[in-house]
């Protein structure tokens, strides 16, 4: 009798959703809505050759829409953006795909036919019951609300900072600077994450960082391992961009752990809001300090006033290019700090192993990581290996991302009743 009772309790806990998707519990079709529509979003960024800032915004809009569509029908957590309640009997998968579809057809209208076909295929698998019909109507409404709410967020029109001049100053004009003023998705004030200035040109810390990148990032010094690490994380235009790789990591870990849809969309919404808000602080920092890249700094070191630096007019970055935005801070590092911290906080542990083959991985070969922080540290250092950034810009970028994620996880998408945190981890 005792064994039978224990078995009943265990089965009841499993059926209650301890890591088992709702679709698996009920036996109905599982279309893996979050993964499928995020993959469409990743492809949209690749096809459009979007900037990292535009990519992060698109990912956040898609995932906020899916989260609010699913959560709005049960309202067990605070909304991300849309406060209205949806139908309690709606199909959550139908709502999620319809919400994502509404965002993508608006932001990527030239590929709308493909999104229409994807939506039709998903709905054909789900069937045409009342729950699906009401879920689709609700999800579409949520997606449209997200698009409308973000239409005036400051992401357009595009602004450009003129080229600078003189020692320590970035020399080229760069566009996309309007993102320094974009309305955040989740944090109260992104400007509070803008760090203090980089080390003074005449300082010892500057000279130390200068010496490091002059060696590690020098294209004239053969170092296949450093080049491969740089290339793995380079993620240029035409890739899913650095925010996209952290979204892919989240989807991989969520799939490995078989998260229910409601938890998976909460994860991706928290992550992508943190990544998007990290953009604001990163662009504001670059705009404020307009710091020169290592290529210019090393070639013109005789102008920096530092007796410990030596000019090398022929120096070339291992990456092959100087970089298209001001040096301080490293955007790759900011996104990686945010991505790793968001995942650590959500899962309440850093030590979750995963494998990843980035869009720019040499030969498409995957790398394995024992923890989120390990990947973030490598991504940040890769910018030094490529001769793109100084180490102080890597560290400052990682700190920006960590700070933004801490606020997002600590204040957003929390339970509406009961404890909202388990120790330091949001619930």
Contacts 24+ apart (CB under 8 A), 118-127: 118/36, 118/37, 118/40, 122/31, 122/33, 122/36, 122/93, 122/94, 122/97, 123/94, 123/97, 125/29, 125/31, 126/29, 126/31, 126/91, 126/93, 126/94, 127/29
Q: CA-based angle 384:389:393, to the nearest 5?
A: 105
The continuous run of DSSP H or E covering 421 comes out as: strand 421-422
Tokens 């039978």, residue located? 4
pLDDT-based confidence at residue 420 (cuts at 50, 70, 90): confident
Weakest-pLDDT range from 23-32, 162-171, 297-306: 23-32
Q: Tell me phi and psi for residue 307, to 5 degrees.
A: -70, -10
pLDDT-based confidence at residue 23 (cuts at 50, 70, 90): very low
Average model confidence (pLDDT) for the chain? 93
Query: pLDDT digit string (tens) for 194-227?
Result: 999 999 999 999 999 999 999 999 999 999 999 9
Q: What is the average pLDDT across 142-161?
A: 98
Say which DSSP state 307 is in.
T
| pLDDT of 8 over the 60 cut | no
**Alpha carbon distance, N-terminus to C-terminus of the chain:** 36
| Residue 419 confidence (pLDDT) | 83
| Residue 422 confidence (pLDDT) | 73
Q: Where are the domains of the chain?
A: 12-150, 160-426
| pLDDT of 371 over the 80 cut | yes
| Residue 424 confidence (pLDDT) | 73
| Residue 374 confidence (pLDDT) | 98
The continuous run of DSSP H or E covering 161 comes out as: strand 160-161
Positive or negative torsion for Cα 144, 183, 84, 250? positive
| pLDDT of 358 over the 90 cut | yes
| pLDDT of 423 over the 90 cut | no
pLDDT-based confidence at residue 421 (cuts at 50, 70, 90): confident
pLDDT-based confidence at residue 19 (cuts at 50, 70, 90): very low
| pLDDT of 38 over the 80 cut | yes
Rounded to whole angstroms, how far apart are CA atoms 316 and 190?
A: 34
Q: Tell me phi and psi for residue 356, to 5 degrees.
A: -150, 135
| CB-based burial, 172-206: b 16+ in 10 Å, e otherwise | eebebbbbbbbebbbbeebeebbbeebbebeeeeb
Q: What is the average pLDDT across 145-163?
A: 98
The continuous run of DSSP H or E covering 48 comes out as: helix 33-48
Residues 6+ apart with CB under 8 A from 12: none
The percentage of residues in the chain with a pLDDT greater than 70, rounded to a whole number, is: 93
Q: What is the average pLDDT across 239-244?
A: 98
pTM, full prediction = 0.93
Residue 394: closest CA among 273, 282, 311: 282
CB atoms within 10 A of CB 299: 17
CB 219 within 8 A of CB 342: no
CATH topology of domain 12-150: Vanadium-containing Chloroperoxidase; domain 1 (1.20.144)
CB 64 within 8 A of CB 83: no
Structure tokens at 154: 């400051």
| Residue 27 confidence (pLDDT) | 47
| Residue 118 confidence (pLDDT) | 98
Weakest-pLDDT range from 68-77, 239-248, 333-342: 68-77
CATH number 3.40.50.150 given to 160-426:
no
pLDDT-based confidence at residue 3 (cuts at 50, 70, 90): very low
pLDDT-based confidence at residue 28 (cuts at 50, 70, 90): low
| pLDDT of 400 over the 50 cut | yes
């Amino acid at each position: 009798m005792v064994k039978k009772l224990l078995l009943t309790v265990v089965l009841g806990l499993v059926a209650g959703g301890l890591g088992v998707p709702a679709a698996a519990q009920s036996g109905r079709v599982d279309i893996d809505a979050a993964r499928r529509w995020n993959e469409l979003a990743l492809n949209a960024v690749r096809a459009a050759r979007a900037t990292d800032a535009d990519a992060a915004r698109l990912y956040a809009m898609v995932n906020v829409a899916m989260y609010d569509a699913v959560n709005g029908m049960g309202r067990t957590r605070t909304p991300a953006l849309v406060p209205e309640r949806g139908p309690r009997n709606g199909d959550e998968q139908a709502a999620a795909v319809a919400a994502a579809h509404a965002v993508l057809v608006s932001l990527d209208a030239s590929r709308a036919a493909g999104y229409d076909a994807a939506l039709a295929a998903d709905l054909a698998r789900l069937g045409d019951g009342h729950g699906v019909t009401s879920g689709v109507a609700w999800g579409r409404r949520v997606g449209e609300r997200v698009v409308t709410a973000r239409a005036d967020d400051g992401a357009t029109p595009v602004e450009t900072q003129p080229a600078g001049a003189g020692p320590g100053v970035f020399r080229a004009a760069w566009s996309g600077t309007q993102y320094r003023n974009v309305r955040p998705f989740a944090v109260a004030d992104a400007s509070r994450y803008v760090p203090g200035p980089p080390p003074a040109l005449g300082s010892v810390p500057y000279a130390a960082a200068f010496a490091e990148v002059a060696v590690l990032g020098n294209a004239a010094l053969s170092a296949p391992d450093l080049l491969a690490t740089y290339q793995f994380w380079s993620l240029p235009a035409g890739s899913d961009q650095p925010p996209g790789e952290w979204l892919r990591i989240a989807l991989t870990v969520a799939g490995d752990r078989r998260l229910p849809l409601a938890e998976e969309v909460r994860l991706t919404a928290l992550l992508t809001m943190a990544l998007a808000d990290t953009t604001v602080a990163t662009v504001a920092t670059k705009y404020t300090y307009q710091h020169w890249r290592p290529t210019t700094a090393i070639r013109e070191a005789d102008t920096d006033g530092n007796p410990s630096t030596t000019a090398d007019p022929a120096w070339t970055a291992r990456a092959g290019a100087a970089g298209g935005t001001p040096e301080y801070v490293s955007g790759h590092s900011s996104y990686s700090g945010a991505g790793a911290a968001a995942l650590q906080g959500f899962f309440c542990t850093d030590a979750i192993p995963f494998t990843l083959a980035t869009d720019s991985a040499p030969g498409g070969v995957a790398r394995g990581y024992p923890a989120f922080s390990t990947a973030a540290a490598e991504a940040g250092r890769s910018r030094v290996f490529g001769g793109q950034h100084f180490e102080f810009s890597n560290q400052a970028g990682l700190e920006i991302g960590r700070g933004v994620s801490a606020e997002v996880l600590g204040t957003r998408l929390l339970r509406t009743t009961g404890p909202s945190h388990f120790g330091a981890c949001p619930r």
